[in-house]
Structure 1
Amino acid sequence: MILALVNQKGGVGKTTLALHLAGQWARQGMRICLIDADPQGSALDWAEQRAAEGHQRLFGVIGLSRETLHIEAREQAASVDHVIIDGPPRVAALMRSALIAADLALIPVQPSALDGWASAEIVSLVAEARSFHPGLNARFVLNRCDPRTLIARHARAALADRQPAPLITGIAQRVLFAQVMAQGRLASEADPGGPAACDIARLAAEIMAITR
């Protein structure tokens, strides 16, 4: 499977989700390659910090912020179980290439009107990519929200009326995610079985269920 996390709006949590999904599947014994397609290189920075801290390498992280990403991602997929693409914000050509490569495009959005407006652009890009890659599946994932709040319920209701459809699993706003990212670690390493790790485990399981 090639999974691309994409949204033209920055700061929605693409890198955090990409790294945590990669770690979840790697810990289950799968061979994972994470492609950092964002020129900012946050996933690469995380991998460098992890190595500097002496933590075990769980999966490979490579930088590929080129418009030939759809070709190179498929080449990488031949030697691993899953490729995860951490997509760039605001670079339409790179994002289009990531979408053409992907089996599933995951679009993280936060529970705010601003994110809703920004997501309209990526929905248009998904539709465009499907003209080249009709098998592309796409889903929203509600990220960085407390499911108990009124704004989260409103956001989920709004997404339910849109295409692509949202995943059932959402990821709550948790301080632990920010803490471990700065350390080159994962939530499951800092607090195994804790709420953040359980959120990621449920998300990873739902993705696997819809891509079988």
Structure 2
Amino acid sequence: MIVLIGSQKGGVGKSTMAVNIAGYLILKKKKTAIIVDADDQKSIMTWFNDRQNVEDVPQIPVVAASGKIKETLLELNRHYDYVIVDTAGRDSAELRSGLLAADLFISPLRPSQMDLDTIGYLSEMFSTAQEYNEKVKGHIVLNLCPTNIFINEANEAAEVLSEYPELKLVNNRLCDRKIYRDAWGEALTVHEAHNEKAQHEIESLVTEVIL
């Protein structure tokens, strides 16, 4: 399965989501997964290189790709159960080409007006891709949500997102937890950092959307 993670805005947590999804799939030991870093910032490649100095953690394969990545993704899909693709936070050749190969498109979104303003364009792009790749399914994930239960931003954003049926809103949300940043800084996943709340969020997301 090719899982493409992309958005029309940076800073929404795509790279963090990609490494934690791949890490959890590999942790289950029933599946193989590889991450394709198709973002020109190459944040995941940096994370991968730092991880080589971490002891007693499983290998999470990472490769870089750019430009028209469709054929690269299809070839990797012949060798891995899951190909997790991280693209830049904008319209890009990698995002458009990746959509032509993907089985699943996941777009993380902050519950903010600036992020919501990008959904119309993203929805149109995804609908166009579906004309050429009928199998691809699209999802929006509310990410970096406030942990304060009295802040209603996520629920308000969910109401707006219900107006875009092309991209289905995922029930499970990821919160703005410091552990995601701390784990990244140590080249770990949240499962390796042993944070139960973050682990549950990733497991619930993967179970709902991918497995």
Normalised by the length of structure 2, the TM-score is 0.93
Pairs aligned (count):
207
Could you say what the CA RMSD is over the residues aligned between the two structures, in angstroms? 1.4
Of the structure 1 ranges 125-134 and 147-156, higher mean CA displacement relative to structure 2 is found in 147-156
Shift of 1:91: 4.1
- Tell me, what secondary structure is at the counterpart of 2:36? strand
Give 1:66's aligned amino acid.
G
The corresponding residue for 2:198 is: 196
The corresponding residue for 2:82 is: 82
The corresponding residue for 1:187 is: 190
Shift of 1:94: 1.6
The corresponding residue for 2:113 is: 113
Give 1:191's aligned amino acid.
H
The corresponding residue for 2:173 is: 170
Gaps of 5+ in 2: none
- Tell me, what secondary structure is at the counterpart of 1:90? coil
Q: Is the 8 A contact 1:32 1:81 kept in 2?
A: yes
Shift of 1:121: 2.2
The corresponding residue for 2:66 is: 65
Distance 2:87 2:134 in 1: 20
Gaps of 5+ in 1: none
CA gap of 1:98–1:17, structure 2 versus 1, over 3 A, is: same
Give 2:158's aligned amino acid.
R
The corresponding residue for 2:161 is: 159
1 or 2, which has the higher helix percentage? 1
Identity percentage of aligned residues: 27
| Aligned counterpart for 1:206 among listed residues 201, 205, 208 | 208
Shift of 1:55: 4.7
For residues 80-127 of structure 1, what are the alpha-carbon distances to aligned partners after superposition, in whole Å with 9 as ceiling and x for unaligned?
111010112224222101111110100110100100112222212111
Of the structure 1 ranges 54-63 and 18-27, higher mean CA displacement relative to structure 2 is found in 54-63
Distance 2:143 2:13 in 1: 7
Distance 1:55 1:86 in 2: 25
- Tell me, what secondary structure is at the counterpart of 1:144? coil
The corresponding residue for 1:52 is: 53
Give 1:33's aligned amino acid.
I
Distance 1:48 1:142 in 2: 29
Distance 2:91 2:203 in 1: 30
- Tell me, what secondary structure is at the counterpart of 1:84? strand
Normalised by the length of structure 1, the TM-score is 0.93
The corresponding residue for 2:5 is: 5
Give 1:178's aligned amino acid.
R
